[in-house]
Amino acid sequence: MTSNHPLDTATRLTRVAAARLAGVTSDTYWNFAGPFGGYIAALLMRAVMDDPRRLGPPVAQTVNYCAPLAKGHFEIAVVLPRSGKATQHWSLELHQAGTVAATASIVCANRRETFAHDVETRPAAPPPETVPVAPSPERLPWLGAYEFRFIEGGPRFGEPARDVGDLAPPVTRLWLKDRPDRDLDYVSLAGLADCFILRLVQMRGTLPPMSTVSMTTYFHALPDELARQGSAPLLGIATAKRFSANFHDQSMELWGSDGRLLANGMQTVWYRE
């Protein structure tokens, strides 16, 4: 890792023991009370990508957000409970000052040519250059680390819904990429998976205390697809199905320039009121 891209400096890890890595948080990916969840996902993905035991590309990642990460030093404990010929299962814990800030599982796999079929291809969307880049609010640094071009369902901060009938639609479609430009890899894809404004904010236009509690991402793209994608924007789509009793679901898709689904996944979001 010789790149000086903010994502690479922010996810640089040092091996302090066979199964333990150390790092320092970056202000670039800061949200309200800690880094945004996509940075944590990218960090944990980096820990596995850097591991010499890794079998092949990641196919699935689940991150459980247990506590906010404070500014400063942290450590990641990496365990490999099972490694076979076809798949490999990793378990990770992100520790800081005696607290578990996140737990995660990552599945890597040996990926060979098999039956392949794109059940869906990328939905139609206006070309990215025809969609304006959204301004970045300064108080949330992580939003400045990505370029957002909202096609549909852009944020409506400061216009709270008066009642359920006034809620915004659940769907957001946007063009999305790292800022500054960075060639796509599994580390950045893990972070991009969490770049969608939480649906509660999107639909209600309010900012109550809320945070992602658990997020799962499935990586369909093979390394050669990521290489072809380069730094071009991805088409992102997010939606939700149900809000109740402090939680809502959120699903997302990230589509590549070649019209194929690079990653999809879901998360559950806690909110206070």
Q: Which residues bind a copy of itself (CB under 8 A)?
A: 59-60, 62, 64, 66-67, 81-82, 84, 86-87, 89, 91, 93, 99-100, 103, 105, 107, 109-120, 164, 167, 170, 200, 203-204, 213-214, 216, 218, 220, 222, 239-247, 249, 251, 253, 260-261, 264-266, 268, 270-273
∠ Cα 272 204 138 (to 5°): 85
If the CB atoms of residues 7 and 262 are measured against a copy of itself, the closer one turns out to be: 262
Q: What are residue 268's DSSP bridge partners?
A: 214, 249
**In whole angstroms, how close is the CB of 223 to a copy of itself at the nearest point?**
10
If the CB atoms of residues 26 and 267 are measured against a copy of itself, the closer one turns out to be: 267
If the CB atoms of residues 122 and 149 are measured against a copy of itself, the closer one turns out to be: 122
**In whole angstroms, how close is the CB of 177 to a copy of itself at the nearest point?**
21
The residues near 94 (Cβ < 8 Å, ≥ 6 apart) are 40, 43, 44, 69, 74, 75, 76, 100, 101, 102, 103, 104
**In whole angstroms, how close is the CB of 83 to a copy of itself at the nearest point?**
9
The backbone region for 259, taken as left when phi is positive above 0, alpha when psi lies in -120 to 50, beta otherwise, is left
DSSP 122: P
Neighbours of 144 (CB within 10 A): 16
If the CB atoms of residues 167 and 232 are measured against a copy of itself, the closer one turns out to be: 167
**In whole angstroms, how close is the CB of 66 to a copy of itself at the nearest point?**
4
Neighbours of 246 (CB within 10 A): 12
**In whole angstroms, how close is the CB of 100 to a copy of itself at the nearest point?**
4
3-state secondary structure of 94: strand
Can you read off the two tokens belonging to residue 117?
């079929």
If the CB atoms of residues 14 and 83 are measured against a copy of itself, the closer one turns out to be: 83
